[in-house]
Amino acid sequence: MAARCAQNEPRYLNQRTCQRTATVEGEWQMMRAVMQHIWQWTTHQSFNRRHWLMLGLLPLLIVALTAAVSYRRAQQALTQARAQAATTAGVVFQKTVLTAPDADGLTLIQNRRALRSLVAWRGDLWAATEGGLLRITNDGAVRRAYSVFDGLPASDLTAIEIFQNQLWLGTREQGLVSFDGERFARYMWPQHDAKAVTTLKEDQGRLLIGTFAGGLLTFDGARFEEVKAVNERLRGVTLIERHATRLYVGTFADGLWRNEAARWQRLTVNEGLPANRIVGVIEQAERILIATDFGLASVPRSFERAETIATHATLAGLQQWQGRVWAVNESGALYEFAHRQLTPHEWRKPVETTDSRLLIREGALWLMSSAGAWGVTMNGKRPQLTPFAQTPIALADNIVAALALDDTGNLWAGAFRHGVSVLSHEGQLIKQLNQPEAREINAISYDAATRRMLVATTQGLWQAPNHLNDRWQMSRIETGLPARNVASLTRWNEHLALAASRGLALGTDKQWRLLTTVQGLPSNSAYAVQAVGRKLYVGTLSGLSVIENGHVTHTFTTANSSLTHHWVTALTTVGDQLFVGTYGGGVYALTPAGTLASLKGEFDAAFVNPNALVSDGTHLLIGTLNGAFVFDTVTQRAQRLTRELPAAQVLSVAADERAFWFGTTSGLLRVAKSTYLANRRDDESHHSHNSHNSHGAN
């Protein structure tokens, strides 16, 4: 038995079980040997009275031996139970019943086209989308959309499942959410880094919760536990599948795990997988098909070494439906797998398609992607895809990286991946531009000198035409541009000033001059630029510099000023006063004495995102990693916005006389200024009244 234990492969992770079995068998073999010896002794010819006396003690000996064996087995069971407890440890959680915020004067602008998952519940279909929860009729009509205005803690939903007659939703940044049809409740794990829930699966009376950083969790309705593979956390869970007694857990970078009869096994590239990112698993009669993001592999049911049978970069999903195996890649191309080949099936998919996946619900096959959802039916031997629950496009992308207003009051919203959207002052989409070469937008600015919008991207500087029309396109300014990655820009006298990856670029569209650390900048990585009179201020990775007459005249750093964090991410002005946003140190004001003074309040240690600091002349709008702030420079009071936002991270801000705008990772929020100011006056009046009553009572 010991030899057999030694021959076990380490990846089976059951060596202790094998050793315990060997120990128990050895003990019973010893008892059998003793009993056999006694039997031989009693049949010996010289058996006498003294021997019969000793034989009378035999029952006591048997009882003692049995007790010893039972004690050893109990101790081993206790050890095994402790080991099991270590692999399913209880997880501390917090449950919060959520209420809807006051949405008076608020407008939410976001896409809901990207469907992540779908379930049937209470006579309708319910979909987790990039823009909240959708209730959809069986024929594809959207009955109702649920957003943060209805109590959701965040808009970007990643998964949906039914458990104990409730809907359960995974979010990208707010943990797990339940919905009973009336109210939402949020579950968070304060001692676990599990804010990003990636997948959900109802399994044998419990809810399995895959997270990106917090492992695989289970929930029985009262208690959360973490499931580990012999004390090893299951990291980056992307897929959970149950086939009979076998549980499969796919991961983002750690291969595929399988659990059967409390035994964990794992396959990675070391065992023959094309890649460690798992996107699909199918059990067949003699083999298991495993889809990775670099191809398809086959493995015996014994879960031993895998064999790559089809190579395909960006494979994104795998399902078996109507006796055939179907696969999809990241951009939505549909394939059938047969005879060790992936055969494409052409269909009219949108050009801009990402994040595709295949899903089986209620016996039907669905293709879901960033561009929408399609139901798959068979037309003879060929699949036919029908659009399902298509919603209007509100933005080029929900990740709003840059905002700016033009001279007509239109709002320009730049997405990091999908170009620019132009919206009316009420938030209606007017125009969308998605030039493949003009993406990854960092900043947008209106240039009064040319009456054009300038767009800074990771691929250079672009300018838009004066009028929006059907042939509207941006053109690149690239003559002599010293750096392609432009983070921010402004007009300074007759020159453009560009904060770029190689320093500060000054000049026109024909001739440029570059200022770097050689000329006195604290860092070549410039992120923000702002003109104040004859001076130009440049925010860099290592501090704030003052430029006069084309030269660096002073630099503020953590060593010579009140700055607590050296990365300056955003700059703006109120009148002639400069305000400085930092990453981790909040916001500072440049005083008339030429020193930096921290603005105290909730945001005095905030992480201000690049270019997420603007002013309307009275208020500062501040976008951070955790909400937004509106700071009144007259009263020196700030209001924080969190629950009203579609996502916690605010990447961009804009303001005019009518509205405040907040661009997040999940869409755009418009706040009517008249409503906001009226509510602020009511709040201040209420606060003053309560303060007066409190003093009177004293």
The pLDDT of residue 451 is 87
| 374 plus 467 within the same structural domain | no
pLDDT of residue 19 exceeding 50: no
Range in 21-35, 106-120, 279-293, 508-522 the model is least confident about: 21-35
What is the Cα–Cα distance from 573 to 596, expressed in whole angstroms? Answer: 14
pLDDT band for position 40 (50/70/90)? low
| 363 plus 407 within the same structural domain | no
CA-based nearest residue to 264, from 9, 7, 15, 12: 12
The pLDDT of residue 490 is 95
CATH of the domain at 659: 2.130.10.10
Alpha-carbon torsion (148, 150, 152, 153), positive or negative: positive
Whether residue 667 lies inside any domain: the answer is yes
| 558 plus 533 within the same structural domain | yes
| 367 plus 504 within the same structural domain | no
With pLDDT > 90 as the criterion, what percentage of the chain qualifies?
71
Whether residue 579 lies inside any domain: the answer is yes
Q: Cβ distance 157 to 129 under 8 Å?
A: yes
Neighbour-count burial of 285, counting CB atoms closer than 10 A to its CB (0-12 exposed, 13-18 middle, 19+ buried): exposed
pLDDT band for position 60 (50/70/90)? low
Overall number of domains in the chain? 3
Alpha-carbon torsion (362, 365, 368, 373), positive or negative: negative
The pLDDT of residue 295 is 97
- Let me know how many helices (H) and strands (E) the chain has, helices first: 5, 59
The pLDDT of residue 486 is 94
The pLDDT of residue 684 is 52
pLDDT band for position 418 (50/70/90)? confident
Pairing verdict, β 420-423 and 429-433: antiparallel
The pLDDT of residue 73 is 56
User: φ and ψ at 500, to 5 degrees?
Assistant: -135, 175
The pLDDT of residue 89 is 60
The pLDDT of residue 66 is 57
Instruction: Compute the average pLDDT of residues 39-57.
Output: 50
| 487 plus 540 within the same structural domain | yes
The pLDDT of residue 268 is 98
**Percentages helix, strand, coil for the chain, rounded to the nearest 5?**
15, 45, 35
Query: Of 353, 384, 415, at which residue does a domain stop?
Result: 384
Instruction: Compute the average pLDDT of residues 532-561.
Output: 96
Sheet holding 650-655, edge to edge: 106-109, 667-672, 659-664, 650-655
| 532 plus 667 within the same structural domain | yes
The pLDDT of residue 227 is 95
Tokens of 56: 């009378």
Structure letter (DSSP) for residue 518: G
| 471 plus 505 within the same structural domain | yes
What is the Cα–Cα distance from 568 to 636, expressed in whole angstroms? Answer: 22
pLDDT of residue 240 exceeding 60: yes
Range in 2-16, 250-264, 277-291, 539-553 the model is least confident about: 2-16
CA angle, 182 as apex, 176 and 183 as ends, to 5°? Answer: 40
Whether residue 153 lies inside any domain: the answer is no
What is the Cα–Cα distance from 517 to 541, expressed in whole angstroms? Answer: 12
pLDDT of residue 81 exceeding 90: no
| 507 plus 474 within the same structural domain | yes
The pLDDT of residue 33 is 54
Whether residue 201 lies inside any domain: the answer is no
Instruction: Compute the average pLDDT of residues 207-214.
Output: 96
pLDDT band for position 68 (50/70/90)? low
Whether residue 516 lies inside any domain: the answer is yes
Residue 388, amino acid: F
Q: Cβ distance 371 to 332 under 8 Å?
A: yes
Query: Of 69, 88, 107, at which residue does a domain stop?
Result: 88
Whether residue 234 lies inside any domain: the answer is no
The pLDDT of residue 82 is 41
| 447 plus 589 within the same structural domain | yes
pLDDT of residue 441 exceeding 60: yes
Instruction: Compute the average pLDDT of residues 19-29.
Output: 45
Whether residue 691 lies inside any domain: the answer is no
The pLDDT of residue 475 is 75
- Residues 230-239: tens digit of each pLDDT: 889 999 999 9
What's CA 164's distance to the chain center, in Å?
A: 26
CA-based nearest residue to 93, from 180, 198, 218, 200: 218
Range in 263-267, 354-358, 511-515 the model is least confident about: 511-515
The three-class DSSP label of residue 7 is helix
Instruction: Compute the average pLDDT of residues 29-33.
Output: 52
Query: Of 334, 360, 384, at which residue does a domain stop?
Result: 384
Residue 393, amino acid: I
Q: Cβ distance 354 to 331 under 8 Å?
A: yes
| 452 plus 589 within the same structural domain | yes
Domain that holds residue 525: 400-672
- Residues 151-187: tens digit of each pLDDT: 999 999 999 999 999 999 999 999 999 999 999 999 9
pTM of the model as a whole: 0.84
pLDDT band for position 686 (50/70/90)? very low
Whether residue 376 lies inside any domain: the answer is yes
Structure letter (DSSP) for residue 583: B
Place of tokens 């670099």: 294
- Residues 448-461: tens digit of each pLDDT: 888 889 999 998 88
On average, the pLDDT of the chain sits at 86
pLDDT of residue 27 exceeding 80: no
Contacts of 104 (CB under 8 A, 6+ apart): 675, 679
- Residues 463-517: tens digit of each pLDDT: 887 777 656 667 777 667 788 899 999 999 888 999 999 999 998 767 889 999 9
CA-based nearest residue to 118, from 360, 333, 320, 280: 360
| 344 plus 426 within the same structural domain | no
| 515 plus 658 within the same structural domain | yes
The pLDDT of residue 331 is 96
